[in-house]
Homo-oligomer: A and B are copies of this chain.
Amino acid sequence: MSEAKNTSFEECLQKLIVSLEASLYEEATTQLANLHSAEIARLLEAIPPKDRAQLWLNIDTGTQGDILKDLSEEVRTQLLSKMEVDSIVEATESLDMDDLADIVPNLPESALHNLLLTLDHKHRNHLKRVLSYPEDSAGGLMNIDIITVRDDVTVRTVIRYLRLLKEMPIDTDQVFVVDRAYKYLGSIHISTLLTNEAEQNIAPLINKNFHPIVADMPEHEVANLFERRDLISAPVVDKNNQLIGRITIDDVVDVIRDQAEHSVMSMAGLSEEEDVFAPVLQSSKRRSIWLGVNLVTVFVAVFFISLFEATLQEKIALAILMPVVASMGGIAGTQTLILVTRGIATGRITTSNLKVLMNKEVAIGVLNGIVWSLVISAATYIWFADLMLSLVIALAIIVNLIFAAFSGAFLPLLLIRFKIDPALAGGVILTTITDVIGFVAFLGLATLVL
């Protein structure tokens, strides 16, 4: 349980792999004994599926529950499929309702049925409530272990009540104040309870400034709200302003991490949940989709090359240089695309400031187009000693860099209009545009001039 152990995660993994390679599964299990469940989850994700399953069945069911909630969805599903129904129920029955709700979609039907039977009426209703909201909404993120008080009591009464509870739910930084109908009135930070005199009425201590989160708020808005306001926890209400739960920062951190993972992974058409050690056949299939999309776009681009076959035949230097034009456009366009896509995701760019941005990006395109066309045409002249060729490539570079800037700025907003994720589709569409414009500008100009 020490942070000394975190720094040696790599050592843990190394030892574990050595034991597993020697098929010493018991020794490997012992190595996991004192680790935190999140660390065991990471170790399991870092070993091949075969060893993973073996090791998993050696871990006692009490620990399995905590590990399950920390695993990525794909690995979780894989390990659940190796377990008996009874063990699944035993492992999961002690989890918090919000963690359980995350796992429920991956449970085999029979296990879910038995699990629901083990829950008492109150918990079953809680689970149903959490499950009734989409996984990626505030309702899906929330936990239902809240402490509520009335507004007509003193600090002493509240503290007496808390002492009766014996302990508070983990990460409780505030208690919520509700009326008789359980409508949300405000919150009191628990530090306020400690710094005020026992006789103090709580009414003036209530923070009424924060409007509670409505359960259907999308999770990325919840994350933005937590980030902007530096929140630790926040109350969640239903449409009637009735308090139904709270969201804590640890779950929000997971959302932020997943979003980040998603934007990086989707650039290569990968899903953020992909198991690094997924079976070869499964990975091949998944990646093939993206290779297929790329194949279509590259055939579109080369079709445009084929239109200029005669010109290419006449001057083979064009064939040699055409990747230069396409690639410079691709890079310039991707810079604008990423900047704008991130700007939209973080809220800095909206339709209201798009015009200013577009002007700026096109101006950069013109400027960089001029600068780099000079460099490239000089290099071309030195290489091929052909003045017309140098002029043609210079012009093509300028045209492509301006179009690249324009497309890079415009494309993300266009894709969002059509409800397509720009982080996923933006790159591949953009490079198709810059390839086609690069080839057509370069070879087309050459056909006219040479």
Question: Interface on A for B, CB 8 Å cutoff?
Answer: 1-4, 6-7, 9-10, 13-14, 17, 36, 38-39, 42, 45-48, 159, 162-163, 165-168, 170-173, 190-197, 209-213, 217, 221, 224-230, 232, 249-250, 252-254, 256-257, 259-261, 263-265, 267-270, 274, 276-277, 280-281, 283-284, 287-288, 290-291, 294-295, 298-299, 301-302, 305-306, 309, 312-313, 316, 319-324, 326-328, 331-332, 334-335, 337-339, 342-343, 346-353, 356-357, 360, 363-364, 367-368, 371-372, 375-376, 379, 435
A338, B13: Cβ atoms closer than 8 Å: no
Chosen A-B contacts, 29 in total, with CB atoms closer than 8 Å, are A7-B221, A13-B353, A14-B350, A17-B352, A36-B229, A42-B346, A42-B347, A45-B348, A163-B195, A163-B197, A167-B191, A168-B191, A168-B194, A168-B195, A226-B253, A256-B260, A264-B264, A268-B334, A276-B348, A281-B367, A287-B368, A295-B372, A295-B375, A298-B327, A301-B323, A302-B320, A302-B324, A305-B319, A312-B316
Q: A208's closest neighbor in chain B, by CB?
A: B1
Q: Cβ of A2: which chain B residues have Cβ within 8 Å of it?
A: 209-211
In Å, the complex CA distance between A89 and B48 comes to 57
| Beta-carbon nearest neighbor of A3 in chain B | B211
* Cβ-defined contact, B312 with A319, below 8 A: yes
B167 with A195: CB separation less than 8 A: yes
On whether A283 and B319 interact (CB within 8 A), knowing A162-B194, A195-B162, A232-B232, the answer reads: no
Which among A4, A323, A334 has the greatest number of chain B C-beta atoms within 10 A? A323
When C-beta atoms are compared, the residue in chain B nearest to A298 turns out to be B327
- C-alpha spacing A335/B276, complex, angstroms: 11
- A308's closest neighbor in chain B, by CB? B320
Q: Collect the chain B residues with CB atoms within 8 Å of residue A338's CB.
A: 264-265, 267-268, 270
B39 lies within 8 A of A228 (CB): yes
- B260 near A196 with CB under 8 A, answer no
Q: A195-B165, A316-B309, A368-B284 are in contact. Are A331 and B260 (CB under 8 A)?
A: no
Q: Which residues of B contact A288 (CB under 8 A)?
A: 368, 371-372
**Complexed CA–CA distance, A274 and B343 (Å):** 10
Shortest Cβ distance from residue A19 to the other chain B in the assembled complex, whole angstroms: 12
Say whether A4 contacts B211, CB under 8 Å.
yes
* Other-chain residue from B227, B268, B277, B326 in contact with A356 (beta carbon distance below 8 A): B277
